Amino acid sequence: MPKLWNETIEEHRRAVRDTVLETTAELVAEQGLRGVTMSRIAERSGIGRATLYKYFPDVESIMAAWHERQIAGHLDELADLRGRSDTPGARLAAVLERYAFIQQQRHGHGAELSALLHRGGHAAHAEQHLRHFVRGLLAEGVQAGEVRDDVTPDELTGYCLHALAGAGELPSKAAVRRLVAVTLTGLRPQG
């Protein structure tokens, strides 16, 4: 069955958009934020400048869209991990480890880019989503007696996310795993 015309257009639009996001992220990684212009993005993406402006008004909005897609991807990945472990404790450990690795990769961005990316409302929304997700895992852990119950899951969420943000300055995967182990020790039930 041939595709409907609307679907084809929609697919084409999504493909252009994806290409622009990937290309811009590549250029920013290579040259830093200041070195990237709409003209260079158009050139590298192989689309016309006029077409590019139909999709995005400026470099900042492209980076915001890219960041939004990255975050959504990370959240999906964490949700997926959740489904793959048996016990609440194993789930929590798998999700927090993955989160820590994401923090480690993210650090490559640099301070200027991080500040830009976090200006948009989407980042705040994603953080809320993440907190809610981790809080749920911690509450399950408390129910199962695998996480301490003398501190609320909400406060434990803040502890976990802040402690694991430290992964950003760690040089190796082994060091990130040690950080996750130390952080998990802090969550253990207190006798």
- In the complex, which residues of this chain contact its own copies (CB under 8 A)? 115, 148, 150-151, 155-156, 158-159, 161-166, 169-170, 175, 178-179, 181-183, 185-188, 190
**27 or 141: whose CB is closer to its own copies?**
141
Q: For residues 35 and 28, what is the distance between their CA atoms, to the nearest angstrom?
A: 7
Contact yes or no for 163/170 (Cβ under 8 A) = no
Smallest gap from residue 31 Cβ to its own copies (A): 23
Q: For residues 149 and 24, what is the distance between their CA atoms, to the nearest angstrom?
A: 46
**62 or 179: whose CB is closer to its own copies?**
179
**69 or 148: whose CB is closer to its own copies?**
148
Smallest gap from residue 84 Cβ to its own copies (A): 26
**44 or 118: whose CB is closer to its own copies?**
118
Structure tokens at 133: 């997700």
How far is residue 171 from each of residues 114, 168, 174, measured CA to CA in Å?
19, 8, 9
Residue pointed to by tokens 């999906």: 76
Q: Which of 167, 155, 151, 157 is nearest to 134 (CA)?
A: 157
Smallest gap from residue 108 Cβ to its own copies (A): 17
Smallest gap from residue 91 Cβ to its own copies (A): 19
Smallest gap from residue 83 Cβ to its own copies (A): 27
Structure tokens at 174: 């082994």
**16 or 175: whose CB is closer to its own copies?**
175
List alpha helices for 32-120, DSSP H. 38-45, 49-55, 59-84, 88-106, 111-117
